[in-house]
Structure 1
């Protein structure tokens, strides 16, 4: 990753290049790339538009302009540019994948799922490619007498969201006379095996490809929405499809209640996603912003960190006067985190695994989204077809969190007041 000074040097060189040759479309394309340090869209938007004007048939220029239009919330223009990029590069995986994501975020599941299957060739985050398996990929053919291997991919949030498909897949596999083996991430602990493992003939976690149990064909968890032709009204339920360990959940409920006889509204906070995610600089809110927004609510709200490995953030917030408890060092895996979250009244999170975990547990969850959200959250709507107990708070302007935090703070004050009155 380039540090800020290196980025500034690159920007300076690109500015010099377009000044020397204003008709150099590729220089404009490179200048149009959105940087994590950009605080507005003027430079990338103008550069992207200039690149398209100079090279209207260049799929790279068109695709880049589509990406900038997404940040500007110009969704019609973004899709028009993405379609044009595909027209001039019909075999370009990146253009086709980006068009699919545009369709999905706009609720166009019927058109989007097939293109989503190009993620291994078209997504920069999956540049390493699809894992190589010795057995063929399952594409929906009959499974009589065969064992299907189901495996997880991408991040923890993706696994938590799409694990809901396991019962549906298992029903089909067993109805056709096959067997289902599910290999998942060890970071989940016993959460998935307890909640959904009974649907499978075998559940296992981790390990290299060569150590997998015997199977005849394989499929990725994130390919199941495509194979089952998912639409908004056919997303598998129920609202709470993951179950925490009852004993651990009871332990945390009692422990939190015993903390000075805690009767305030219990709220978990997650303020950043993975630091290596390319969009995290735009998704991240930061605990310092939460602390400012919620500073006057401590009388009625007890705050808890859901951010593992963020002790420095927590200590800085405490030093600034924001009360927040942090038990995350006691959660070795997601199963322990789930038991803790089960004892909360509300989770407030950016787009990261904490939001998906709380949603999958059926907990009341508020998710803060930037202007160009992950496709699963769609656009405009306050609710989510994936998580019925989740409310979405959306940015209106690029990198402007203040109106979002104002709305969340006002709603939190109202919820805390109702909680206090119910206990009176």
Structure 2
């Protein structure tokens, strides 16, 4: 067996040290043999020494200018170095020397993908598949393009074909796991990531893929442990540093999250996604000027990056800049989780709607719909006939809403209309500023029916909510909720009859504790928001965290006190006790992140005073 074949066998066995020894010997024996330089380039590319690989491959093609394989490898090296023009030239030389092959076109397709020349990339993938329908990398590269374009179902199909052809390629499983997360199929994502890890148990990329599954499933600590494991293998992996920052941020470890994001940025200053994550940390820490700068830097790098623009909008809105804030907030519609259903109906962008039917589509949470439905009369003033699309739990509550032409539940674009618009886009399109918020209450009304009975009492009757939606997209929403035990000082106040407006049935231990404290549990009679509204009509006051109940009470014109985290959701603004959205609302704010003691104490004092003054 000649020395080149020995080197090739060693490369196949991933015995790179032995391969290096064979190739060094081959280069010394015959420095004019291009194959020795070519295989040396392949070796150093595999071990990640790109500059040395480039040097060897350039030497190979200088000795033999028609060496197609060497040009192909050189194209891959230049691509990994980010030298896209040189990479494209090398691939062109390879195609010119050989007439083209499926492998060459597949490799060049990935270059075009990284250049965001997607049409050329798809064309090369299709050429590769046409030339060799059993080439796994062609389907894998096609899937990578489809992932970049957000064509997740097509990506799944391409990846499953690639895996069928080559079940040992961990990168296919890694991308399929990413695709399953995007398709909101986390259990499948986890299973596929575990397959990748079985194939490459010491690969930081496989471990990162598995960690991403736990991150999506909100198992943040497990995700953190895996990201740390990946970093032990590859300390300078920018994606893992970024992901670890996110896992830490979700656990409120902002300082270490900040450190991970800045370390990642030091390795690559041109990452708009990391700048956006860093900005989110600054925002959550109350450093709004720094947050704004991060988002603006991200947008300078990637002007169409929706996540940065949306986050900038949130920071601007929280600080009272409604004009620019709502304009940036429109970027949410370009985020995967807020993507609208395909529709042939034209989107309303501010043109005349006099005499037109406009389909107004709710989005995000129930509280958002309750808050923003106030803008429907403004559409009626413009001569429009609004058709409101809502979810089932709001149907009965909205029966008496004014200035709505029609209400449909869970509409699948079946309602005929001249235009469509997202409900939360209305403030932007209507030019709403902080001093022009329509805030006449009530604008929602209790619907008659069998009223669930709040027990009779001569005391002040108060409804309480302490926990909300922990899966909220922004602001690490667990920060909004308060431990039940932290509220016991409230429940000890004399002269109050308490009832819980929590939707979820409490666990037995909590149920027992509520019973001991005399708190009436209403969860067994709440199946929708109309039920909650009926209960509220029998109360004197609602005390709640930032949840849909706060919006419902405000929209009903009910006295409501809202306990807010240190950096609240944008709609509550900063440093004020009232809300321009709801005249009957009083705000109680954390003075320090994560500490509710001052808030509960302030609510206790206000409640005691209310009782003393006779309600």
TM-score by length of 1: 0.86
1:182 aligned to which of 374, 385, 388: 388
Contact 1:71 1:398 in 2 (8 A): no
Distance 1:355 1:33 in 2: 29
How many equivalent pairs are there?
A: 399
Distance 1:340 1:414 in 2: 24
1:385-396 alignment runs, 5 A limit: 385-396=580-591
Bigger Rg over Cα: 2
1:15 deviation in Å?
A: 3.3
1:141 deviation in Å?
A: 1.2
Q: Which residue of 1 aligns with 2:381?
A: 171
Q: Higher helix fraction: Structure 1 or Structure 2?
A: 2
Distance 1:21 1:60 in 2: 20
Q: Which residue of 1 aligns with 2:531?
A: 336
> Given the alignment of the two structures, is residue 32 of structure 1 paired with residue 245 of structure 2, yes or no?
yes
Q: Which residue of 2 aligns with 1:140?
A: 350
1:200-239 alignment runs, 5 A limit: 200=404, 202-212=405-415, 214-239=416-441
1:316 deviation in Å?
A: 4.3
Contact 1:103 1:111 in 2 (8 A): yes
Contact 2:345 2:418 in 1 (8 A): yes
Contact 1:48 1:68 in 2 (8 A): no
> Given the alignment of the two structures, is residue 2 of structure 1 paired with residue 214 of structure 2, yes or no?
yes
Distance 1:172 1:240 in 2: 22
Contact 2:223 2:247 in 1 (8 A): no
1:281 aligned to which of 478, 484, 497: 478
Deviations 1:355-407 (A, max 9, x none): 00001111111111222321111122221111122112222333222222222
1:83 aligned to which of 287, 292, 296: 296
Contact 1:149 1:219 in 2 (8 A): yes
Q: Relative to structure 1, is the Cα distance of residues 358 and 59 closer, same or farther in structure 2, using a 3 angstrom cutoff?
A: same
Contact 1:52 1:65 in 2 (8 A): no
Query: What do you get for the CA RMSD once the two structures are aligned?
Result: 2.5
Contact 1:300 1:417 in 2 (8 A): no
Q: Which has the higher contact order (CA 8 A, sep 6+)?
A: 1
> Given the alignment of the two structures, is residue 96 of structure 1 paired with residue 309 of structure 2, yes or no?
yes
Q: Which residue of 1 aligns with 2:399?
A: 193
> Given the alignment of the two structures, is residue 53 of structure 1 paired with residue 269 of structure 2, yes or no?
no
Contact 2:566 2:591 in 1 (8 A): yes
Deviations 1:337-363 (A, max 9, x none): 112112211111111110000011111
1:310 aligned to which of 501, 505, 525: 505
Secondary structure of the 1:32 match is helix
> Given the alignment of the two structures, is residue 293 of structure 1 paired with residue 506 of structure 2, yes or no?
no
Secondary structure of the 1:294 match is helix
1:13 deviation in Å?
A: 4.1
Deviations 1:218-272 (A, max 9, x none): 1121111011111011101203211213x559x56xx54xx3x511111111111
Contact 1:351 1:367 in 2 (8 A): yes
Q: Relative to structure 1, is the Cα distance of residues 34 and 106 closer, same or farther in structure 2, using a 3 angstrom cutoff?
A: farther
Deviates more, 1:42-51 or 1:18-27: 18-27
> Given the alignment of the two structures, is residue 413 of structure 1 paired with residue 613 of structure 2, yes or no?
no
Secondary structure of the 1:134 match is coil
Q: Which residue of 2 aligns with 1:240?
A: 442
Q: Relative to structure 1, is the Cα distance of residues 5 and 351 closer, same or farther in structure 2, using a 3 angstrom cutoff?
A: closer
Distance 2:425 2:221 in 1: 40
1:67 aligned to which of 280, 288, 292: 280
> Given the alignment of the two structures, is residue 14 of structure 1 paired with residue 220 of structure 2, yes or no?
no
Q: Which residue of 1 aligns with 2:318?
A: 105
